[in-house]
Structure 1
Amino acid sequence: MTLWSDLSTGQRIKSMRGKDTTQARLAEMTGLALITVQKAEQDRALTLPTLLAISNALDTQPGVLLGHQEPEQQLHKADRAMMRALSRAVHDTAAGILPHTDEEPPTCEELHAAVTGCWELYWAGRYDAAGAMVGPLLSSAAARLHAQPVGVQAEAAGLLSDAYRIAAYTANLLGARDLAYAAIGHAHVVAERASDDLRVALVGSGRAWVYLRDARLPEALALAEKAANDIEPRFSTATPVQLTVYGSHVNFAAVVASRMGNEVRAADFLSQSNATGARMGEEVRAHGTLFGPVSAVTQAVGINVALGQTGKALTLIKSIHDVGPLTEAAQNRYAMDKAMALADAKLWDDSLDTLEKTLRAAPDWARHQALPRVIADKVGAASTAKLRRVAKLISPRGGYAAGFLPATEKTAL
């Protein structure tokens, strides 16, 4: 497989430019002559001013174009622009830099509706749209908190914490780990001001997710378990909201334990998850999360796959008949776990069929995922025709695109 560092600077510029931006358009965006852009992509000449102009126009760092660092999971140019704006919003609001306007900031009711809208976009797998919306939301929520009289700031603080958490989730998923750490840290500080135990626990679980994707597994497990224990409710008196937040926490703790190969801890958390889901009887959305009996069993599939328990995963799959109550993103993730279980069972064609169906149904979601590539690598012994079709559907971010295919498949595509 061709690595980013193996490409020439010109090839990296062309890759980051993408198909939607022509050389002529890049010249307009940078103010450079077309011949200068052409020479840069042909590795014939590249001065420092030209490098800086091109990297700025492509919303990336000069080091990325020079091959010193990987691009952020092969983000599209629009994604990179969104992430830059989101980063500014996170850091500016945390520093107390608020919008300069004489207008009254949105009410808490209006902000609550906006937070809900952001979560809807996020759980639909529209991460670019969620990120674009949460940037302005952060500024508005920070302005509302600043305008609130002392003593009545809890609600506004909670909403600002929610906005930071969405920003952290979006950044974490798109590979901007430093921004994810910053945003989740700010979310924690503001959640403490909100005096809301559920929000504090949700932020703790969010930080555990950042740790998980940063391979800090022991710390992720400790934090996830603490967050769940801090809000463990009495089943006899717990509200649906409390059960939803708690159930999602123990489920995530099971995920982390499975990534560590700790079968005993994972099984214990899964038992709590299943009990919570059974108590609820249906899926419930609250505080930007969703949980219920369907969530419990579908996520158990992925957990058993991670533990290498393919038989258990396949048995669970046979028991699942309707994933409609789940969010779109959760449905897609379950499909990936199912495809992986089928691949582990050497049911190559069935695995590729499941993968291809999901990639075609949710291309925007899929381009932000690495798992499709992992599955495609695993099913190399499957139908060549199917594998080629799937490879064409997997975005550069997943690793399969022109220049990023295994050598055996480059000519085929």
Structure 2
Amino acid sequence: MDTLHALARALGLPTSALIGDQAEAAARAEPDHRPLSLAEIRRAVAPVRGLGGTTLAAPPGEPPAPEVLRRRLHAADRAYQANDYATALSSLPPLLLGVRAAAGLATDSTRPAALVLVARTLHLSGNLLIQLRAGDLAQTALTAALDAAEDAGDQVVAATVVQGMCWLLMRQGRLAEAAELATRTADQIEPRFSRATPAELAAWGWLAMGAAAAYARDNRPDVAADLVDAAAAAAVRIGERAPDSEHLMMVGGFGSARVQMQRVENAAVAGDPGRVLSLAEVVPSGPTPVGSSWQRHRLDVAWAHAEQRQYADATAVLLQLQERAPAWLRHQRYARDIVRQIAEGRRRAMSTELAGLAALVGCTP
């Protein structure tokens, strides 16, 4: 994608115009680390159904109480944000079965809340599957999450699920679709700033940043910049107010720091390492509530150092990420490209630390 975007900038074209048939790339099946086993989460996200709608994944007996299910969901969310994918991956399948069973037994009055719990659990599952590069299964989870949120009539939850779908579309190179989906949904839910809740503002702000990320990659930097400015206004309006604790941590992770990270990301996409480092100076030095966002930001900083041949600084940033989030780093092809750039640009023998990074991300200089 970086190469295509550079070509698009040179030719003055949308990046999406240069994306052709991906069948050959899929057939090559470029090597990657073996993902954690997905068998159980696959069974829970896409259960086998028989005649009459019966499912083979139905748990025996009564499901746990709603408050128990909510506690388990937030524990899985904390594990995911802490890059503990093994814990999240093991806890989500039984949780999915439980929330679906609870929704099936809900009364008319309790059904909306039960469906919201289903939507949030599927949304978290979809996000985790995107991180693990199981895109088709992630799309199944997010589609089901959106259906549940809309059935519940919860616009905020539905909008945050759409943002997850936009992230997936960008991972698939479907930039124009991601941009259109994010902007159209943002227009549909645009809140009145004077009376919107923090969660409503956050959901809209995430969509604006998702659209900005897609437009930046599609070589439309001016549109991307305007959208980031709009997201910044929402972040200012939220201020120190926190969304309701029932939401996933991603909703509460929207704020001015995350908006600044998006500005940095757009500069990296535009191929401007100097601007990346300048904008990054005002981003918090420590992790933010949405850990993967801060980690992705630090990769932009590492890339900028590598582009300016500041290989020691780039390596230091990567080592920090290796210490904090090795499971996350292992799945980042962006990190692999940066490590390869450092390894091939160095003037001395590869250090032990750099060799360890190369082994972690699957880079063979």
Deviations 1:21-53 (A, max 9, x none): xxxxxxxxxxxxxxxxxxxxxxxxxxxxxxxxx
- 1:101 counterpart residue number: 60
1:176–1:325 CA distance, 2 compared to 1 (3 A): closer
The residue number in structure 2 matching 1:390 is 354
AA of the residue aligned to 1:140: G
Q: TM-score, normalised by structure 2?
A: 0.83
**What is the rounded CA distance, in whole Å, between the counterparts of 2:302 and 2:74 in structure 1?**
31
Residue identity opposite 2:146 in structure 1: H
Deviation readout 1:136-184 (Å, 9 max, x if unpaired): 1110001000111245311111111111111211112211122112111
Using CA pairs under 8 Å that are at least 6 residues apart, name the structure with larger relative contact order, 1 or 2: 2
The answer to whether 1:207 aligns with 2:168 is: no
Whole-Å Cα distance in 1 between the matches of residues 337 and 60 of structure 2?
49
Structure 1 residues 197 and 164: CA distance shift in structure 2, 3 A: same
Q: Which residue is 1:31 aligned to?
A: none
Change (3 A) 1:232 1:366: same
Residue of 326, 332, 340 corresponding to 1:369: 332
Q: 2:83 aligns with which of 125, 139, 159?
A: 125
Residue 43 of structure 2 is matched in structure 1 by: 88
* 1:392 alignment partner AA: G
In structure 1, runs of 5+ residues without a counterpart are 1-66, 407-413
Percent identical residues? 27
Q: Give the conservation status (yes or no) of the 8 Å contact 2:131–2:331.
A: yes
Amino acid at match of 2:324: A
The alpha-carbon distance between structure 1 residues 306 and 288, as it changes in their structure 2 partners (threshold 3 A), is same
- Equivalent residues in 2 for 1:10-409 (5 A)? 70=29, 73-76=32-35, 79-80=36-37, 83-92=38-47, 96-97=54-55, 98-102=57-61, 104-282=62-240, 284=242, 286-289=247-250, 290-379=253-342, 380-382=344-346, 384-385=348-349, 389-395=353-359, 398-400=361-363, 405-406=364-365
AA aligned opposite 2:355: A
1:70 Cα deviation after fit: 3.6
Aligned residue identity for 1:188 = L
3-state SS of the aligned residue for 2:46?
helix
Q: Quick one: distance in 2 between partners of 1:269 and 1:208?
A: 15
Cα separation, 1, equivalents of 2:47 and 2:31: 22
Contact residue 103 and residue 111 of structure 2 kept, 8 A: yes
SS of 1:261's partner is coil
| CA positional deviation for 1:96 | 4.9
Indicate the structure (1 or 2) with the bigger Cα radius of gyration: 1
Distance of 1:295 and 1:227 partners within structure 2: 20
Instruction: Give the SS at the match of 2:76.
Output: helix
CA positional deviation for 1:385:
4.5
Alpha-carbon displacement from aligned partner over 1:83-107 (angstroms, at most 9, x marks no partner): 11100111118865253423x2122
Cα separation, 1, equivalents of 2:66 and 2:124: 17
2:17 counterpart residue number: none
Cα displacement string for residues 41-85 of structure 1 (whole angstroms, at most 9, x for unaligned residues): xxxxxxxxxxxxxxxxxxxxxxxxxx9774883225xx12xx111
Equivalent-residue separation in structure 1 for 2:285 and 2:59 (angstroms): 49
CA contact (8 A) 1:283 1:295 kept: no
Contact map agreement 2:336 2:362 (CA 8 A) in 1: yes
Residues 256 and 87 from structure 1, CA distance in 2 versus in 1: closer, same or farther, beyond 3 angstroms? Answer: same
How many angstroms apart in 2 are the aligned matches of 1:96 and 1:189? 19
> Which amino acid is the alignment partner of residue 206 of structure 1?
G
Output one character per residue of 1:352-410: Cα deviation in whole Å (capped at 9) or x when no partner.
Answer: 221122213322221222221111122332354456522322455x322xxxx13xxxx
Distance in 1 between the 2:189 and 2:338 partners? 36
Change (3 A) 1:321 1:200: closer
TM-score, length-scaled by structure 1:
0.74
Q: Within 1, Cα distance between the matches of 2:242 and 2:272?
A: 29
Preserved contact between residue 349 and residue 382 of structure 1 (Cα < 8 Å)? no
The DSSP-based 3-state class of the residue aligned with 2:345 is coil
CA contact (8 A) 2:59 2:98 kept: no
Where does structure 2 lack aligned partners over 5 or more consecutive residues?
1-25
Residue identity opposite 1:92 in structure 2: P
Aligned to 1:60: none
User: How far is 1:305 from its partner?
Assistant: 0.5
